[in-house]
Structure 1
Amino acid sequence: METRGGVPNTVLVGRERELAILSALLQRTAYGDPVTLLVSGDPGVGKTALVRATRQLSGPVTELYGTCLPLTSLSVPFLALRSAVRGLGPQDGPPPPRVSETTDDVPYLIDTWLDELCAIRPVILTVDDLQWADQSTLDVLMYLIAGQARRPLAILCTVRNDDSNDRLQRWLADIRRLPDIAELSLEPLDRVATGEQMAGLLDATPHQSLVEEVYSHTRGNAYLTRLVVAGLPRDARHIRPDFPDDLRAAVLQSWRRLSPEARRVTQILAVNGAPITADDLRAVTGMDEVLPLLAEGVGAGTIDAASTGTYWFHHPLIAEVLERSMTPDARRQWHAMFARHYETKLTDSPARIEVLVAIADHHDRAGHAAEALDWALTAAAEAGEGGGRPEMLRLLRRAVALRKELPDAPVSVRGLLSRLRTAAEATGAQEEELGAIEQLLEDPDLPALEVAELLVRRMHLRFSTGRAFLSVEDGQAAVRSAAVDMSSWQYALSLAELAHAELWAGTEGASARAQEALDLAVRSGHARATSYAYTAMAMAAMFDQRRNEEAFDHATRGLEAAVIARDWWAYVHAASWEANALEIWTAQEFANHLSGRRERLAELRAPHTYLAFLSASESSSRLAFGDWASVLDQIRSVLGSDPGPVTDAQARLTAARLSAWQGNAAEARAHLARADELFGERTEFLAFPFDAVRSEVALAHGDNRSAYEAAITGATSRGIPPTMCEWLIPLASSALANLIGEQRDAGQDTADALERLENLVTDFPTIIRDIGAPSDLYERQCSALQDLYAVEVARARGHADTGIQWIAVADAFADARLPWEETYACWRAAEALLTHGHHSRDQAASVLRHGLDLSEQLRARPLQALLLSLAESARVPLGRVEVTNTAVSALHGLTPREREILSHVIAGRTYAEIAHALVISEKTVSSHISNLLRKTGTANRVDLARFATRALREG
């Protein structure tokens, strides 16, 4: 037992919801209410880890932890309770009562002792593995739970999902009838949380291929994941070919308790590889007593009985371990027997596809190559017609491999690769599709028009898999190949995508090429070529003429053509340029538009890969305007299944930015490392802000030199400016200002850093601007970032009295709807005013309080800590100034709405808060505040609040 008030270094992953529930219950305990929580789940799912997390959720408490044991030959009364109080010392409170199995008043004695203990501090009594509890322990717990008085006592119990213990089930049924009993069923971790757990176990970001393999084996069971990962090197890409002994022992623990006959029948069940009925298993094995043996496995928790009448293992890893425990010859023999059995069951029933797949799988594992190929092709064809595209892809992949063993097979390699490529495209398996295309392009007899089409698709897939940005050379090769028929849709498609690549590269004449492609595509009447041509025209309208309305119309036409062609790459390509033409990517309108397009794509039943792409783009937008909670949800959804490299990287960059702003610097680096792993050459991928995010993450780590270098790398990249180009020069100036400040404070030579600063100002007198027609919001954002650049340069040059400049920057960012940057500017403004300035403390306190409000809303912990430290050192009171609309009405010359808004400004509320409170848009708020600034002769919101407060005080 320990009395704890601290926070441990380890944090559970993937259990945010469960921890929130547990935290809320413990909060009730702290207020004096008794609570009881039953946590149930499979072995190894993390029940113990969750209840032991109480030490990180609660304040000073007395924690009593006892565990039950699976004793078989003896019984120790009150075992869990004895272990819970072992180690208590005089400093912890009154000594626990001495109990024995012959004492009838044990429940009363323990209850009385807990009363005395709770009078000192709250108590958490945890009983782990309740399925092994002795009856005496269950009786005491029943007494404590049923008769709980008002006292700060939390009783936490964990129990396995197991219906075989009748005594425990009766106890649980009685407990559940009592009031105020909370229950929590713990499910396995999802794919994302499994990767996070692995990162902690390996002390490194795991390779994605390793995450996929581990998750496919453990299905998110935290204990099994730990066993699979144990001993792997930090850079491992795959699990070991053989399971370690401790993993085998853990997986087969319940199986080993079965009778020899039940173990044998479940071992044969494992060879089947899928759920099966008792009748089918009886037919294959020839064993008459199959049903009782399966029932024995169900009772032991080894296998589950489904309502459909089939049986399968409670955890798929059991099946894998059991099958591997057979000799290779025995496995092949049983696979052959299963194949023959399923052949006799082949009918036109609704289960026909499942039977075909089973036949193909068993022939393959039995070593029957020719039969396996025939059945794989038959099963793949029917799976595709029945909507089973992932199954079709798997079978075609096998067929290609088998064809290499059977050179005389009637089916051609090219035909198989074409089918594989089509299936991979339909399922969003981009790596698989790219591999098939690469092999097809090796065929010297491939028709030229087909070569052109494949070269274009390879461009897209090289981009989507992070291998290379859209290549002008690849586009030119496609055009040359398609030139055999310049009236073909393949030629129009090749021209469109050459124009696409040339527009990104800034090649002269790209817009004219896009127009030529569109004319040819429309004449060809081919939806796919038309889609890409219209989207290329949308890009051209934005890149060259900056005609956003025309660009939006072109992109919409491209999207509708993509729907007709059912080309999902074309769809997300067009949807992205629609959003770009609508508004700058940092705007809520941009995010909302992508959300609508994603919903339509989901209705069209597109693969997760493409839905995730739009979600990732939307989340980067929502992060910019501060909707961080939605960002977390979307990133988890994106990474919940494999989204493909490009989307994974985009989501990781957004997650890295959010982590950096919210103070999770190590997590930010881990996300950035994953993005780097996915993309070989980051700077060339202009659509993604690799260098800007790298600079922000380095700043969060205090690595100012790396932050400067990353920003300059992005600023000097080839082609059109990259995404977040507007941030690059301000980031570089901020890094230099920090570096120069550190050197000055340490008495070091600042000449080199100052020279870099002057070179920066000479080379980049203004920030970098993106392509496209500038919207009003974009102009405000660029203006705010330009102001930030100027004041950072002033800070670097040692200009101390910059408080008013920083206030203006904060106000500009508020007007530009960039709350993270506004919060940073508020801190710098308060710092300059309180440390170096000679201005009113009211002015400094106002901007400081506003910065704290923003940092709390955004959970920007580093800035919040800096603002709180500044307030403490400068002795600035943090109480809110509340001014009623009635008081504001005393000011003359203001409209009723302006008075109403002014009252909110004086109270330190943000544009968003004012808009929400008054049910108006932020743009309307901004317009009214501009009028207030003009009427009062003030320069910004802080000055306005100070002027109004003084006027009210004097009035």
Structure 2
Amino acid sequence: MGVRRLVGRGDELERLALAVREARRLVLVTGEVGIGKTRLVARAATAARETGAVVVEAPCLPLGLRLPLLPVIEALRSLATALGRPAFAELPPYALDELARLVPEVVGRAAAPDLLPAGEWQRQRLFAAVDLVLARVAGSRPVVLVVEDLHWVDAATLDLLTYLRASSNGSLTLIVTCRSDEAPLDPPVERWLEQARRPETVRLELTGLSRPEMAELAGMATGGTPHEAMVEELHRRTEGNPYFAEELLAASGGGGLARQPPRALAELLVARSRRVSVPARAVLAVLAVAGRPVAETVVARITGMTPADVAAAMHELVDARLALPDSGRPELGCRAQHALLAEAVAVDLLADERRDIHAGMAAALQAVDDPALSAEIAGHWAAAGRPDDELASLLAAAEHSHRMRAYSQAADLWQRATGIAESRPDAAEKSGVEPGWLRIRAIDALQACGRDLDAGTVTEQTYAKLRGPASGALLAAVLHRTAWYRGVIAPREAPPGTAYAIFDEATRAYAELPRSAEYARFLADYARFMWMDSGDRASEPIFRRALDVADGCGDVLDGAYAFIGLADVAFLHGDPADGFALLDRARVHSGRYSELSLRVDLLIADSLSNALLKMGDLAQAERVALEGLERAHRAGAAAGYSGAVLHHNAAEAFLERGLVDAAAAVLSDVCASEPRLDDWNLHLCQAQVEICRGAVDVALARTRAVDLLELTGPRMWVYERTRLLPRAPLWAGDPAMALDRVEKALALLAGCAVEQFCGELFAHGARAAADLAETARARRDDEAERSALDAADRLVAAQERMPGRPLRDHPFLATVPGDRADWYAELTRVRGVPDPDAWAEAAEAWERLGRPHRRAYALWRQAQALLSTSRNSTTAVDALRAAAGAANGMAPLTAAIDRLARRSRISLDEKPAQAPAASADPYRLTNRERHVLRMIAHGYTNAQIGAELFMSPKTASVHVSNILRKLNVANRAEAAAVGERAGLTDPVP
């Protein structure tokens, strides 16, 4: 009865083959259980191999505790089986280090110990290493990665699939199968599937077989021509589900259809399983409970049977179509023929039988001595009702997950272990663990993977539970994490100032302990928080104390952090030269350790590019940020907070120089995602791109989404958010919203050194008040005008109350002259007496600073003021024409300039500009390459370029490589910038 032929899926098979040929990045195959997803994908994989493709398989397993990255490990082993060690040859050192965590037996080396604290960027390096291996192979031949049963996937593998899906390296196709009737799906899986349903994704939703196809299947099963009545009944009762049909036919024994309806299929499956011998049933019970392929030796250990008897039983199960040998790795033995069969057989066992098999599986897997199996072992001990044994396995599983960069799963495992350890003190003592330290490990892992809100919840629970009974190092660690959470994540329910009080309490606790790296880290965190929240010099002695402690205990990383913090203090307090020297010392301090040096180097790039931005050296800031990103990408470390800062600094430098397309290219991955705690700055920057391109409503919605995060945190972060938030409502015609945002921000920032940064906020507030006043006067609404004037008075009073004097010149804050000029010029608008000279001064200030769009805004206002004070429109011609030239790339401002020119009957075209001919291009790009360059500037991926221009992603990749070579640049952002400056992103005439 071995019906394995693919029936009725010819169209789907052809679509899969076409997707592989075109290197479509993602193929999503969905359908109910038994509909034939596995059979379809297996046939497609065979066809791909026959055409020269490399097919690697990454099965997901139905385990209670999901093993981190197990499908990825299996895929890498499958790749090694297909191609051997050369597939992993000549990889950069970081890639070998990361792959050694997954498949040390393939790489031929053990993973090196971590020098740095856990962080999301390290997990991205692991992902980059996997991507690099696949891309190396996919550069010369197609690679197909088959991920079966996504509904059982672990969180880390899901994130890696997201990473691979977004990659444009090589001819790689992901074929993913998932049940459509699995209810409920895990929320991360559900979100992933929702995001995967994009136009570029090939989606195959398998439905039931038609009646003729069902007749073909029945004929193959019975070895003859089936009766019409039987086919009709088979089709009606199974609704075209081929697996259900095969089981009904198999249960009939050749004498017509079995009487059970599909809803009683479980009973049917159990009844079939009882037809085999007693030894075979015992082996099937083990396979069913395991939910995965099980080797003969493991089954023998659990059942007490001899290996020969187990082998014979497995052959009997395969012949009866109740089990399947593992085709990818035969040494793993057999698995149940179908997940539905395994579920039915496992449920049919008595509770004691199931517990015994789970205990046997746990003991057998422990004997294998593979740390990757720890989570699975813990799951079996839990199902066996043996919490003491479960605790030991949970601890091993958490450590293993942490080494595998699966920080989210490590945190969950540590929390589960904490629950057992706290409820069973004897088990905790036997395992040698203190439950409080398990909580600390969970908090750190949650922060490392970006689950800050969850980290905060566990932190507050730990603080409430342990502040009284804990002492010594544990108490200090609890206070440290709580203070950081209260200060940086800043829950709204926490009273103001509690972070400082708890930091002080932690300081006293650490003072009674020996110096340690943990103490150095605490001091660096305390100083960093104090600096971010106040900006004053009070953090400087704490940074120096952190440096002293770090040097004393050999903690190079926190010593480097201290140098960078001291540099930031020096920059703001008027000594840039000292700041640059301190950054150099941080680099030298960490230079002995390659991995640590890279991490510090990225933090230095963050600080340096930010300093250059503030000091007005936009070209240098752009260069430093892009070079930092390039190094980070090469080392697989471009994700996480440092990567977000570098992306933001590069994009802002481009935007301030009027290079909107280049900024969009830097931010191309942001557009489709929702803001998170660790990338809100990129979304606010993306909103500026959308404003420039005229999508003001989209920008306003994006800033509102950032608002909904209800972020507070240290006041330096508040400033960085609030300085960008008012821009969207100002251009959207909602000055009341902009004014409200400005006043709330100024209230939060008053009373600390961060006041010095607030010049731009005052200028935004004055602009909002002026817009409100002009609208009120146009409508003859005296009350609204008085309200606008009162708002301006409030802003003036707030500015005068700030001892930091935000509009006073500062050696670190280059934009103060422009912000000050805007502020005074906007106040003349508020009072209804716009001053052309004030706006001319603002335009000159912004021209000196190299900010074309801000200069264009001032020139536009100057032209308005000239037209309002003179009956002769020619007085405004020069200002308006200059504004039109400077506003290039800023759509709403350009539209406003055009409207003013039409109303005033001013021609903006003194000499009609001619679009440069393609032949005048000094880089000798073809028209097609210029088209591709424009799409690069708009953030298109290779797959999107291919879809737009009717070419494969691989062909698009060739065009992109040619463009980078001709322009002599290293990445897409630089290409977009060069193209914009040279006019190459203008439409081809």
| TM-score, with structure 2 as normaliser | 0.54
Is residue 626–residue 818 contact of structure 1 (8 Å, CA) maintained in 2? yes
Aligned match of 2:823: 789
AA paired with 1:700? W
Change (3 A) 1:700 1:485: same
Change (3 A) 1:640 1:475: farther
Aligned match of 1:472: 500
Aligned match of 1:455: 479
1-side partners of 2:193 and 2:486: how far apart? 29
For the pair 1:756 / 2:784, whether they are aligned, the reply is no
Secondary structure of the residue aligned to 1:42 is: strand
Aligned match of 1:866: 896
Ranges in structure 2 where 5+ consecutive residues have no aligned partner:
1-21, 52-144, 151-157, 167-184, 204-237, 252-264, 271-283, 303-309, 915-965, 969-989
Q: Alpha-carbon deviation of 1:748? A: 0.8
Change (3 A) 1:415 1:654: same
2-side partners of 1:475 and 1:754: how far apart? 43
Per-residue CA shift, 1:789-824, capped at 9, x if unaligned?
A: 23222222323573x654554454343233443343
Secondary structure of the residue aligned to 1:738 is: helix
Q: Alpha-carbon deviation of 1:480? A: 1.7
Is residue 428–residue 608 contact of structure 1 (8 Å, CA) maintained in 2? no
Per-residue CA shift, 1:679-714, capped at 9, x if unaligned?
A: 453684545433333322332332222212321332
Q: Alpha-carbon deviation of 1:578? A: 3.8
Secondary structure of the residue aligned to 2:873 is: coil
2-side partners of 1:594 and 1:38: how far apart? 32
**Aligned mate of 2:421, from 403, 418, 422:** 403
Q: What does 1:398-797 align with in structure 2 at a 5 Å threshold?
A: 398-409=416-427, 410-411=430-431, 412-421=434-443, 423-424=445-446, 430=452, 441=463, 442-443=465-466, 444=468, 446-463=470-487, 465-467=489-491, 471-484=499-512, 497-503=525-531, 504-505=533-534, 509-515=538-544, 518-519=547-548, 521-523=550-552, 525-544=554-573, 546-558=574-586, 576-584=606-614, 587-597=618-628, 608-615=639-646, 617-618=648-649, 621-622=652-653, 623-629=655-661, 631-632=663-664, 635=667, 637=669, 646-681=677-712, 684=715, 686=717, 688-716=719-747, 717-718=749-750, 719-721=752-754, 725-749=758-782, 750-761=785-796, 764=799, 769=806, 774=811, 778-779=813-814, 781-797=815-831
Change (3 A) 1:561 1:747: same
Change (3 A) 1:466 1:756: closer
AA paired with 1:741? E
Per-residue CA shift, 1:59-104, capped at 9, x if unaligned?
A: xxxxxxxxxxxxx9xxxxxxxxxxxxxxxxxxxxxxxxxxxxxxxx
Q: Alpha-carbon deviation of 1:538? A: 2.5
Is residue 353–residue 383 contact of structure 1 (8 Å, CA) maintained in 2? no
Per-residue CA shift, 1:254-313, capped at 9, x if unaligned?
A: 876664579878999998898648989999996757769999999xxxxx9869999999
Aligned match of 2:117: none
Change (3 A) 1:707 1:726: same
Is residue 332–residue 367 contact of structure 1 (8 Å, CA) maintained in 2? no
Q: Alpha-carbon deviation of 1:740? A: 0.9
Aligned match of 2:985: none
Q: What does 1:85-100 align with in structure 2 at a 5 Å threshold?
A: none
AA paired with 2:893? L
Change (3 A) 1:590 1:334: farther
AA paired with 2:534? A
Secondary structure of the residue aligned to 2:874 is: coil
Ranges in structure 1 where 5+ consecutive residues have no aligned partner:
1-35, 46-71, 73-130, 132-159, 173-184, 196-208, 227-249, 299-303, 885-916, 920-955
2-side partners of 1:215 and 1:682: how far apart? 28
AA paired with 1:729? F
Aligned match of 2:190: 214
Ranked by relative contact order (alpha carbons within 8 Å, sequence separation 6 or more), the top structure is 2
1-side partners of 2:285 and 2:665: how far apart? 42
Is residue 389–residue 427 contact of structure 1 (8 Å, CA) maintained in 2? yes
Q: Alpha-carbon deviation of 1:850? A: 1.1
2-side partners of 1:335 and 1:772: how far apart? 75
Aligned match of 2:846: 813
**Aligned mate of 1:372, from 383, 390, 411:** 390
Secondary structure of the residue aligned to 1:853 is: coil
Is residue 686–residue 722 contact of structure 1 (8 Å, CA) maintained in 2? no
Q: Alpha-carbon deviation of 1:742? A: 0.8
Change (3 A) 1:431 1:497: same
2-side partners of 1:361 and 1:593: how far apart? 48
Identity %: 18
Aligned residues: 677
Change (3 A) 1:883 1:440: closer
2-side partners of 1:552 and 1:867: how far apart? 42
For the pair 1:42 / 2:18, whether they are aligned, the reply is no
Which deviates more from structure 2 when the two are superposed, residues 685-694 or residues 728-737? Answer: 685-694
2-side partners of 1:852 and 1:617: how far apart? 22
AA paired with 2:580? F
2-side partners of 1:321 and 1:462: how far apart? 51
Q: Alpha-carbon deviation of 1:326? A: 8.7
Aligned match of 1:881: 911
2-side partners of 1:797 and 1:324: how far apart? 80
Which deviates more from structure 2 when the two are superposed, residues 715-724 or residues 340-349? Answer: 340-349
Change (3 A) 1:814 1:290: farther
Is residue 360–residue 375 contact of structure 1 (8 Å, CA) maintained in 2? yes
1-side partners of 2:579 and 2:162: how far apart? 39
2-side partners of 1:772 and 1:520: how far apart? 37
Change (3 A) 1:220 1:433: same
AA paired with 1:676? D
2-side partners of 1:452 and 1:510: how far apart? 20
| TM-score, with structure 1 as normaliser | 0.56
For the pair 1:854 / 2:889, whether they are aligned, the reply is yes
Change (3 A) 1:321 1:373: farther
AA paired with 1:353? P
Per-residue CA shift, 1:569-621, capped at 9, x if unaligned?
A: 98876654444444527634334434444555667766943444434543563
Which deviates more from structure 2 when the two are superposed, residues 592-601 or residues 279-288? Answer: 279-288
Is residue 488–residue 529 contact of structure 2 (8 Å, CA) maintained in 1? no
Change (3 A) 1:536 1:37: closer
2-side partners of 1:520 and 1:269: how far apart? 56
Is residue 704–residue 738 contact of structure 1 (8 Å, CA) maintained in 2? yes
